[in-house]
């Protein structure tokens, strides 16, 4: 489910309810909650009630970071309607939100330091 929160009123609205599991985000359940959504889907597909086995969570925070380029002639034909080109999606997990963002920035710096995509 995707929600929007109005900070002024405290009101929460549902934006989207998608019954399909997003494969890009499935690993987050294991990292943060210790639950395997793929195991649960397999059990359902086999006609079994999904088990509620829960392993110890490995991390407290996880996020999917879309790395984008917002300018550049060589990518002009690849630009999406958002006015940017998404060149990578990185899933990361960490013990704190500060460490999570630090890991993302460090990874981006190391991977793309010499690249045209670093800006």
Same domain, 42 and 2: yes
Phi, psi of 26 (to 5 degrees): -60, -35
Question: What DSSP string runs through 22-70?
Answer: -TTTHHHIIIII---HHHHHHHHHTTPPPP---PPPS-SEEEEEEEEE-
CA–CA separation, 22 and 20 (whole Å): 6
Asked if pLDDT for residue 74 goes beyond 70, the answer is no
- Domain range enclosing 95: 61-119
Which of the four pLDDT bands, split at 50, 70 and 90, describes residue 62?
very high
Q: Which of 10, 37, 58 is the last residue of a domain?
A: 58
Question: Where is pLDDT greater, at 118 or 113?
Answer: 113
Q: Which two tokens stand for residue 29?
A: 């359940």
What is the mean predicted confidence (pLDDT) over 16-24?
A: 80
Q: Which two tokens stand for residue 104?
A: 């993302």
Same domain, 50 and 74: no
Question: Where is pLDDT greater, at 109 or 2?
Answer: 109
How many structural domains compose the chain?
A: 2
Same domain, 102 and 89: yes
Same domain, 54 and 65: no
Q: Enter the pTM of the model.
A: 0.64
């Amino acid at each position: 489910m995707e929600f929007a929160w109005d900070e002024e009123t405290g009101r929460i609205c549902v934006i989207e309810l998608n019954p399909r599991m997003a494969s890009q985000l499935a690993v987050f359940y294991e990292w943060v909650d210790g639950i395997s959504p793929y195991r649960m889907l397999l059990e359902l597909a086999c006609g079994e009630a999904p088990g509620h086995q829960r392993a110890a969570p490995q991390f407290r925070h996880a996020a999917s970071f879309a790395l984008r380029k917002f300018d550049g002639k060589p990518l002009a034909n690849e630009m999406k309607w958002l006015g940017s080109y998404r060149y990578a999606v990185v899933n990361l997990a960490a013990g704190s939100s500060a460490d999570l963002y630090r890991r993302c920035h460090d990874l981006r710096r190391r991977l793309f330091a010499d690249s045209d995509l670093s800006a």
